Structure 1
Amino acid sequence: MTQVMMDRMSWPEFRDALKRNPTVFIPCGATEQHGPHLPLSVDCLLPTALCRDVAERVGGVVAPTLSFGYKSMPKSGGGPHFPGTLNLDAQTLISMVRDVIRELVRHGVKKICCVVGHYENQWIVTEGIDLAMRECGHTGLKVMRLEYWDFCTEDTIKTVFPDGFPGVALEHAAVMETSMMLHYYPDMVRLDLIPDNPPAQFPPYDIWPPHRDWVPSSGALTSAKGASAAKGKAMVEQYCRDIAAAVKKEFG
């Protein structure tokens, strides 16, 4: 199989890959707590693996993962109180996204897909893309941005949550991420440490400094007890199929 991971290519291999005018995928992750049962790198590992699988389907290339993300928030990622959560200021991430896109364009890339794996990154990555387009749009550059969880279909939700879906807002370190990790990286999941806390209850506002007691002490916003590798496989296969279709639709 052709190598699709840019960081495993030599420079001549990357040069030759660019002759095919491939879509270059940029996984946009974070280093953030994901409960006691998952590693700090979940938001990097999952989008990178998905990008690899999609790139193999569409003849793309996967750029090195952006491994630090915008600030973890209590209601979506647990917040900054957990050791190991490393946050970037918005301007730092914006500049990283803009600069990486600009550098790829300098080497002749015309099609880029930014795949967000960290909820808080969404609009920060968008700003980086927008600034890059201001500088590079005249080159014929086209950029997609997507969050892989937005591709989850009703059929997949029914498969993963036969007893009812609690909502994606509470799925931090819970069934969806844990199942995908069990599919891709089973040796990195500590099944014996999966917490069984009830879903977090948040007020309809944010506050600074953030209240630490808003977040379950485990860091998981709801229980991951229902996670399984089979559920992860079902999600991954559906995501890859539909993301690949979207990339082909937009980029040809």
Structure 2
Amino acid sequence: MSDRLFMNEMSWTTYQKRIEGGALILLPVGATEQHGPHLPMGTDVMLATAVAVDVAKQLDAIVAPAVAFGYKSQPKMGGGNHYCGTTSLDADTLTHVLRDVIKEFARHGARRLVLINGHYENMMFTIEGIDLAMRELSYMGIRDFEVLRLEYWDFTRTETIEKIFPEGFPGFALEHAAVMETSLMLYHHPELVDMAALPTDKPADFPAYDVYPTRTGWVPCSGVLSPATGCAAEKGKLLAADYAIGVTDAIRKEFPNVKAKTQVMA
């Protein structure tokens, strides 16, 4: 059990030994959000977890249970909160869930945490949750706790983009349930991708402003912001390699004393 990656598969005594040995915590944060008719609603959290697992196979790290609900889906990023199945949290709720979980990791004795965000709308509230936790830990006298926070897609290399989009990249803003996410899911979880249901809607064309109540007609009916035509598991493999290498390198840079992983059990 000492070589397991997932916190929730460890006994408390094994977990304690790993923490006392200096293991860092990897916390995936995602959402339960529509990803078109061809991808599962858990795509964001599955991909954030997959990145965490790839990193934990290289470093002395523990993958914590993922936060599976995120901040409200927005039309320009995730299609919108009006889709059936999309299950979201208020900003204050997500912020305080993260604050509490981070404080608990510090109470356990962990001193290094990497938060891997897989849902764009979560960004500012992950920052707020970390800030509140760090402030309260300081009041408690714990001042040596460090957090690295990131969105995994920021580690996509230009060379990879050029290989995946030889005719031009439409931009990250329209990549919701499109080529990149579908390719990653084909690589990590092919059994959950329904290629027969791949939508053919034209790319969304949003104005430079928002309107409330949400103008649901701005979003293609499928919920996909750009066609996933051309997706492939091989493209997902290229992206996964970028994220595994990039995130691991960032951790080694910021936490230079982290140990390399010599043996793992998934």
**TM-score by structure 2 length?**
0.93
Paired position in structure 2 for 1:71: 72
Tell me, in whole angstroms, the C-alpha distance in 2 between the residues paired with 1:56 and 1:13: 17
Tell me, in whole angstroms, the C-alpha distance in 1 between the residues paired with 2:150 and 2:81: 25
Paired position in structure 1 for 2:47: 46
The 5 Å alignment of 1:56-135 reads 56-135=57-136
Paired position in structure 2 for 1:181: 185
Tell me, in whole angstroms, the C-alpha distance in 2 between the residues paired with 1:8 and 1:159: 38
Tell me the amino acid that sits aligned with residue 124 of structure 1: F
Tell me, in whole angstroms, the C-alpha distance in 2 between the residues paired with 1:67 and 1:149: 18
Paired position in structure 1 for 2:163: 159
Tell me, in whole angstroms, the C-alpha distance in 2 between the residues paired with 1:93 and 1:223: 30
Shift of 1:135: 1.4
Aligned-partner SS, 2:176: coil
Tell me, in whole angstroms, the C-alpha distance in 2 between the residues paired with 1:59 and 1:147: 21
Q: What are the Cα deviations for residues 66-115 of structure 1, in whole angstroms up to 9, with x where unaligned?
A: 00000100110000111000110000000011000000000001000110
Pairing 1:190–2:194 present: yes
Tell me, in whole angstroms, the C-alpha distance in 2 between the residues paired with 1:225 and 1:59: 38
Tell me the amino acid that sits aligned with residue 51 of structure 2: L
Tell me the amino acid that sits aligned with residue 206 of structure 1: D
Paired position in structure 1 for 2:238: 234
Q: 2:206 aligns with which of 202, 205, 223?
A: 202
Aligned-partner SS, 2:147: strand
Paired position in structure 2 for 1:251: 255
Shift of 1:12: 1.3
Tell me the amino acid that sits aligned with residue 99 of structure 2: R
Shift of 1:19: 2.1
Tell me, in whole angstroms, the C-alpha distance in 2 between the residues paired with 1:10 and 1:142: 25
Aligned-partner SS, 1:163: coil
Shift of 1:58: 1.2
Tell me, in whole angstroms, the C-alpha distance in 2 between the residues paired with 1:56 and 1:108: 22
Paired position in structure 1 for 2:154: 150
Aligned structure 1 segments of 4 or more residues deviating by more than 3 angstroms:
none
Q: What are the Cα deviations for residues 128-185 of structure 1, in whole angstroms up to 9, with x where unaligned?
A: 0001111124330000110000111100101111111000000000000000000000
Tell me the amino acid that sits aligned with residue 117 of structure 2: V
Shift of 1:227: 0.5
Identity %: 48
Aligned-partner SS, 1:24: strand
**TM-score by structure 1 length?**
0.98
Tell me, in whole angstroms, the C-alpha distance in 2 between the residues paired with 1:136 and 1:45: 30
Paired position in structure 2 for 1:141: 145
Tell me the amino acid that sits aligned with residue 240 of structure 1: A
Tell me, in whole angstroms, the C-alpha distance in 2 between the residues paired with 1:66 and 1:101: 12
Aligned-partner SS, 2:109: coil
Paired position in structure 2 for 1:33: 34
Gaps of 5+ in 2: 257-266
Tell me the amino acid that sits aligned with residue 221 of structure 1: L
Tell me, in whole angstroms, the C-alpha distance in 2 between the residues paired with 1:231 and 1:50: 15
Tell me, in whole angstroms, the C-alpha distance in 1 between the residues paired with 2:196 and 2:225: 18
